[in-house]
Each structure stands twice: as structure tokens, then as C-alpha cells.
Structure 1
Amino acid sequence: MKFVISLALAACLSLTCAQQGPQRCTSMRVRRNAASLSQQDWQSIANVLSRMQNDGWISRFGESHDRVFSRVHGNTCFFPFHRRYVLEFENIARTYDPNFVVPYWDATESFRNPAADSILSSTALGTNGQGSDSCLTNGVQGNAQMTYPNQHCMRRIFDNGNSINPWYAPEIISSYIQSDTSLASFRENIEYSIHGAVHLGLGGEMNTGYAAHDFSFMVHHANLDRLWWDWQNTHNSFLMYDGTGSNGPASLSDRIPEDRSVPLNGDNVESVMVLGYGNVCYTYDSGPGAPQSYPSGGSGSRQQDNNSNQVLSSSSNVESRRRESEGIQNSLDSNAVNRFFPGLGGNGSQPLRRRGSEKKTSECGGPIPFPPRLTPAWIKMHGYDSNRVESAHKNACEIVEILNNSTYSSPY
């Protein structure tokens, strides 16, 4: 009888532990918008990167990303891997400077003319590469030399000469945040859009499997992580992990792929699903904080939490979010809103109003440019299904066309 009771007690304790999940972080660091950093902040980053470079860490991160490349792209593991990967970079950087935090680069803010973004200046991430080898000669990694896969300079090759083709508008990403009801579909849309556009736009190291050499990789993926966190909060789906993982059907117990050059401690997917719990002790300056309690229910949980709120927009600017949401509600008919921006709710039988049917009250950057396509080489490199990539691009273009044919004025 005692043996049976002991087994029951052990099972109960085990169940309790499982329900509690990771412990809430006692302190949280905040990842800031890179656009808000001062010159002193960038200099501090440069100092840390230089020391990490000298100790071989930069090349090791590029090497490790290259070695697990095929396992962490084109499937749902894309998000948890890169969340854990950037966190590991941040943790190692903090051994050099305890105040170091990876900023995020909201690349949609400069989507119309990316090369003009102040973040791509000679005192921040650096400009286009120079010389016959397109070497990066300025910025926080100016004149850096890489050792993987061979000795070479850090390269940067803009995809349109000295300029960069337009990226994805915030409204397109906002549509994904609102309309994608599974992580698998959200991952696909993000990976085929802003993820690839920034990598291809910067080119050089960023157009290789060892893209993590370039610090642009870290700030770019910090932003994609921010967008995932916004999606998780918008749908209250903190533990949703569906579709295909790195080794078959996705499971929260899946081990995150790692390479010996940058070990990830054998962490599993669930350990990084919720910001503010376990060892994932950070949040973003533009997004919701950690839930008050760890979500329960496993994959697909939609537990409501008093501290979660709907984000609805991809923008990191609160005022722009408001103007975007109001503008879309006032410019599109209910069918278009419910299809592409369901979080905003349909607006009755209001017809779709075309440009010219009434005078616009404000102008920003004019019509939204259509987003670029992923290159055939990029699609092949990642093993994507070209038909699905084309379908996603067609959908993004349809969002742009509907907005441009209405009275909507983009605040971006």
C-alpha cells in the first residue's frame, strides 16, 4: 500500500512540475530598437564584437549556423532555433560586457529605401562593401577578417549596386501577424518575405550559410524574434508549435539543433517558447512583457492572460501602429479587412474606396512598392518549395495592391 501511495505521490509531483513549466525570470533585460542607439552605444557594441572576433567567436557562430543550416530553415524550427541562437550570442557577449544586449532592427521602417537607413551608416552596421572583394570597411565590424570557411574579409554586397531594392512594407507583416492562425503558416510567410529580403538586400556574408559572421544577422533575427513574440501575444498562442520540425512532425520536446562550435546545452523547443521564463530573460521595448504565469495546455494553447495584449501591427512605433490600424479600417471594405487584417474587425458594408474617389487628407511615402522576389539561388540554397514561395509572394503583392487601390495612406 505504501508503495502504491509513493508511486501516486511521485506521479502527482511530476505532473505538478510539468504544469508549472520553467520558472519566471527574476530580472529581465530589454532589447531596444537599434534606431534608438547612440553613438556611444554603437561604440560599446563595436568594442565587444572586436574582442569576440579576436577570441574566434564570430567565426564560430558563422560556422555553427552553416553546419545546421538545412535543419533550421524551411520548417517550424526556424523560430525557436534562432531565438536560442541569438540568445547564446547575447549571453557570450555579456561575458565581455555585462550590459550588452542585442538590439533589434525593425527593417520595415526603411523598407522604401533600405540603403538610406541610419543603421546602415559608417558608424553603425556599416555601409556597402568596397573594392573588388566588396570588403566591409566601416561600421562596428569594419575591416574584420573571417577564417571560415576560408580566410576572407567580411563582405557586404547590396543587391542593387549602391542601393537596396525595397523590402516588405509593415502592413504586409501586420497582415501575417493577424491572419496566420498557425505558427507553421506564420513561419512560412516570414521566412519567405522580410527574412529573405534583408539577407539578400545586404548580400555578402548575409547571402551565405555562414551569415552569422555579420552582426546584421543578429539584429535582423532579433527583429524576427520580436515579430514572433508579437504573433504569440496576438493569438495567445505561446506554446503553439505545429507543422514540421527539424526531424519530422514538430514537438515541443524536440531538441534544438546545435553544432559543437557553439553548443546550445541540448535545450529543447519548449525551453524557449515563452519570453520571461527559464533562461529566456529578455523582452522588447515595443512589445508585451512576459505573461504573469507560464501558459498551460501544451502545443496550441491559447490561454488568456491579463498581461498579454493584442499587437496587430508589425511596427515598433506605437503611433504608426495606431495610424496604420485606423487607416486600414477606414479605407478597406469588410471583406478585405476580414481577409487580410482580421484582428481589426470588418467595418460593415462600407465599400472599398478607390484612390481619386475622394481627396486624401495626408501623404506619407506614396503608394507602397511591391516586395521583391526571392532569388532562385536563395530558394535552392534553403530547399524551399518554389511554388509555395511564389504563392506567398503573390499574396503579399495582393495586399499591396488592395491598399494602393484604396484611400489608405501609409504612415511609413
Structure 2
Amino acid sequence: MKLVISLALAACASLTCAQGPQRCTSMRVRRNAASLSQRDWQSIANVLSQMNDDGWMSRFGASHDRLFSRVHGNTCFFPFHRRYVLEFENIARTYDPNFVVPYWDATESFRDPAADSILGSTALGTNGQSGDGCLTNGIQANAQMTYPNQHCLRRAFDNGNSINPWYAPEIISSYIQTDTSLASFRENIEYSIHGAVHLGLGGEMDTGYAAQDFSFMVHHANLDRLWWDWQNTHNSFLMYDGTGSNGPASLSDRIPEDSSVPLNGDNVESVMVLGYGNVCYTYDSGPGAPQSYPSGGSGGNNREQGGSNDNNNQVFSGSSNVENRRLESEGIQNSLDSNALNRLFPGFGGSRNQSVRRRDSEKKTSECGGPIPFPPRLTPSWIKMHGYDAKRVESAHKNACEIVEILNNSTYSSPY
């Protein structure tokens, strides 16, 4: 009898493992920060003030700094930051049960980031004051940090009182559609919009302890949203390839953690699918959770993805604006020939097979500054800080500029 019971328990455990995490019974929705009311921002400010008084902001800054080399420059970048922002959100909800981290779609203001209302004096705050760079307005106005020493929360825009243009939604759209491995998508995102926003804000955000600035959380929530869109576009919910934090990537890898912000020893697979296990949130720009947990087991380099999701046949762009997504898709289809479309935007479907319709006849320009501004380069110090391969970073920037150049030299008119 004992043997039968033991076998039954073993079978049950095996079945549970095969089924994966349970679907969440309730879901919270992360909203676009641009849609928040002044009351919403004030509620966030109240929570951040209490968390800072209790030392949590500096704990998050310290833990991110100490884990820095393990969670950047490899595929662990996405699952770590998904789990990290979720932990911040969970702790914040102990102060306010309605707290949800919003996401900052930085592509919406890529042309003139400093003019974004989210960087206003009643939201995330403006530039730091001249001299010491201390942030004197916004939801963390005059905040004092204790890591790595006692100092004010700082902000220092990368172009004086303005910020250099960021990455256009169309560039991110191309990454979402063309990158067929998570390792490739991670590299393109980390070398582009991830670094551009950090460097654009500067100050605290240009350090290993950037998590002390709430801008870090809303920025990484947006990167998480882009990863989720990529996962749905390719039906690759469990793809985790390339190199992880300790060698070849495996879904069974433990997510790096620091004692100041414990992550419960969670492994990578536990955070791969929104709406399952403890990852009980989604984004207001869609898509929702899969109807069933994806199949494929827990091994690394998993390319046989399953699951059922009404959004699996959808292709998402870099923007969170549904109407602009439509205009972007139609505009690109009508402006590029089939070769350019299939190479850069395969998810937007077929074209009319015309030659690329160019502005000013066949005139080309390699100068940065067309209708879509060319993205900035990562700084040498940022590249060194992250241990990136400078040649790969330069190659990624060159490819991004090529996307912009092709669009600018066609008849395409960006809706953003």
C-alpha cells in the first residue's frame, strides 16, 4: 500500500511539473504612465516616500549594483528585471494594496524626450538642478539616498537641459518582428532603447544603483512589455537561449539575487509567462495571458513553444498606441518594396511589390536628422561599465541607423 501511495504521489508531482505554474486567479494591469492622473502620481509619491524612509529604495539600488555584471550583457537581462520590478511592486503593495508599477513608453516622446509630460514637475520630475544635479521636483523631490553614500537623488540630462532623441518605435518594431531568438532580441534592446533612456536621464540612472530612481522601474516595466510583445509575436513564451548569468542559458537557472532584496530563489522559468505562477499582471496595451501554460519543458534553448493565446497571430510594434500601430503598419507596407519589407518588417505582411518610393527622386542621405531622427550611440563609459563588446554595439547602432535611413528615404511618414 505504501508503495502504491508513493508511486501515486510521484506521478502527481510529475504531472504538476508538466503542467507548469498555475494560472493566476486575478490579474493586475500595468498602465501607460502617460494615462495617469495627478492623483495617481501623488499616490505613487506617497508610497515611494514611505519606502525610502524604510530603506527600500537604497536596498534596490544596492542590490542592482552588486548584481550588475551578472544581469547585463546576457539573456538573463530580461527574466531578472521582470522579477526585480515585480518584487518592487509586491513590496510597494504592502504600503498601498492598489499600487501597480506603470510603464513608460519612451518611444512616444523619442523626438524630444525632455518635453514628455512624464518628465514633468508633478510626475517623474525634470532635470536636476545646476551644480549638484539634485532632483528638486517630481514624485521623488529632494529624496536622500544612503547607497553607496549619503547623497541626494540626482538627474543630469545628456544634452544640457534637453535630451538627445531616443529610438523611434519603428526601430523597435523591426526588432520585435525580425529577431527570432531571445538572445538576439535582448542584445538589440539592451544596446538601444535601454541604454538611451538611462543615459538620457543621467545622474542616478547612469550608475549601477539606478534602481533608486523610480524612472528605472517604469523604464524596465516598458522593456518587459516589449519582451512580452516579442514573446507573443513569435509564440516563444519559453525561449531562453544564448548565455545566461552563469554559462549556457537554461530555464532552470536560478535568477541572481542579493540578500538586500531576496527573490525567493526563483528560477527563470517561473517568470517566463505573464499570468501564471506569481507573475500575475499584464499590460493595458495587450496581449493577455495565454489560455494554457506553454508546453516545451524546462530545458534551455527551447524552441518548441505551445500554449493557446488569441493574440498569437498578432504582430506588435514598438509603440503602445494601438491607432499609431495601425498607421505605422499601413504606412510601411505602402512605402517599402517586398525585399525591404520582408527583411525589416516581415510581420507587417506583403507589399505592392513596387520599388522603394523615395523622397527627392533617388536622393539618399546618410546624415542623422531626417524625418525620423537617428538614434544616439552608447557612450564609451557605458559600454565599458556593462562589459559590452564595442564592435557588436557599433554594429547594432549601424543597423538601427539603416532602418531609419530606409524609412526616411522612402515616402513613409511616421505617425509618431
Shorter-chain TM-score tier:
over 0.9
Conserved? CA contact 1:334–1:345, under 8 Å: no
SS in 1 for 2:282: strand
Conserved? CA contact 2:289–2:309, under 8 Å: no
- Which residue of 2 is the match for residue 265 of structure 1? 264
Alignment of 1:7-406 (within 5 A): 9-298=8-297, 299-303=302-306, 305-309=308-312, 310-347=314-351, 349-356=353-360, 367-406=371-410
SS in 1 for 2:357: coil
Aligned equivalents of 2:6, 2:211: Cα separation in 1: 48
Cα deviations across residues 214-241 of structure 1 (Å, max 9, x unaligned)?
0000000000000000000000000000
Conserved? CA contact 2:328–2:414, under 8 Å: yes
Conserved? CA contact 2:85–2:217, under 8 Å: yes
Conserved? CA contact 1:235–1:302, under 8 Å: no
SS in 1 for 2:184: helix
SS in 2 for 1:231: helix
Cα deviations across residues 360-386 of structure 1 (Å, max 9, x unaligned)?
xxxxx9710000000000000000000
SS in 2 for 1:119: helix
Amino acid in structure 1 at the alignment position of 2:411: T
Amino acid in structure 2 at the alignment position of 1:402: I
User: What is the CA distance between 1:143 and its match in structure 2?
Assistant: 0.3
Aligned equivalents of 2:323, 2:216: Cα separation in 1: 27
Cα deviations across residues 237-261 of structure 1 (Å, max 9, x unaligned)?
0000000000000000000000000
Conserved? CA contact 2:292–2:307, under 8 Å: no
Aligned equivalents of 1:304, 1:387: Cα separation in 2: 38
Amino acid in structure 2 at the alignment position of 1:336: A
Aligned equivalents of 1:366, 1:113: Cα separation in 2: 14
Aligned equivalents of 2:374, 2:162: Cα separation in 1: 16
- Identical amino acids, percent of aligned pairs: 85
Range moving further from structure 2, 97-106 or 306-315: 306-315
Aligned equivalents of 2:260, 2:27: Cα separation in 1: 27
Cα deviations across residues 13-48 of structure 1 (Å, max 9, x unaligned)?
333112210000000000000000000000000000
Aligned equivalents of 1:303, 1:345: Cα separation in 2: 23
Conserved? CA contact 1:88–1:264, under 8 Å: yes
- Name stretches of at least 5 consecutive residues in structure 2 with no aligned partner: 363-368
State the aligned residue count.
405
SS in 2 for 1:30: strand
Amino acid in structure 2 at the alignment position of 1:406: S
Aligned equivalents of 1:348, 1:33: Cα separation in 2: 35
Aligned equivalents of 2:14, 2:318: Cα separation in 1: 37
- Name stretches of at least 5 consecutive residues in structure 1 with no aligned partner: 359-364
Give the direction of change, closer, same or farther, for the CA distance of 1:88–1:306 in structure 2 (3 Å limit).
closer
TM-score normalised according to structure 1 size: 0.96
Range moving further from structure 2, 78-87 or 345-354: 345-354
Aligned equivalents of 2:34, 2:370: Cα separation in 1: 23
Cα deviations across residues 351-404 of structure 1 (Å, max 9, x unaligned)?
11101459xxxxxx9710000000000000000000110110000000000000
Conserved? CA contact 1:238–1:301, under 8 Å: no
TM-score normalised according to structure 2 size: 0.95
- Which residue of 1 is the match for residue 414 of structure 2? 410
Conserved? CA contact 2:290–2:307, under 8 Å: no
Amino acid in structure 2 at the alignment position of 1:102: V
Aligned equivalents of 2:17, 2:307: Cα separation in 1: 19
User: What is the CA distance between 1:11 and its match in structure 2?
Assistant: 4.8
Give the direction of change, closer, same or farther, for the CA distance of 1:373–1:28 in structure 2 (3 Å limit).
same
Cα deviations across residues 118-148 of structure 1 (Å, max 9, x unaligned)?
0000000000000311100000000001100
Conserved? CA contact 1:31–1:284, under 8 Å: yes
User: What is the CA distance between 1:305 and its match in structure 2?
Assistant: 1.7
User: What is the CA distance between 1:344 and its match in structure 2?
Assistant: 1.5
Aligned equivalents of 2:238, 2:195: Cα separation in 1: 25
Aligned equivalents of 2:353, 2:85: Cα separation in 1: 46
SS in 1 for 2:29: strand
- Which residue of 1 is the match for residue 365 of structure 2? none
Give the direction of change, closer, same or farther, for the CA distance of 1:304–1:294 in structure 2 (3 Å limit).
closer
SS in 2 for 1:319: helix
Amino acid in structure 1 at the alignment position of 2:353: S
Cα deviations across residues 253-304 of structure 1 (Å, max 9, x unaligned)?
0000000000000000000000000000000000100001100113223325
Aligned equivalents of 2:280, 2:73: Cα separation in 1: 27
RMSD: 1.6
- Which residue of 2 is the match for residue 361 of structure 1? none
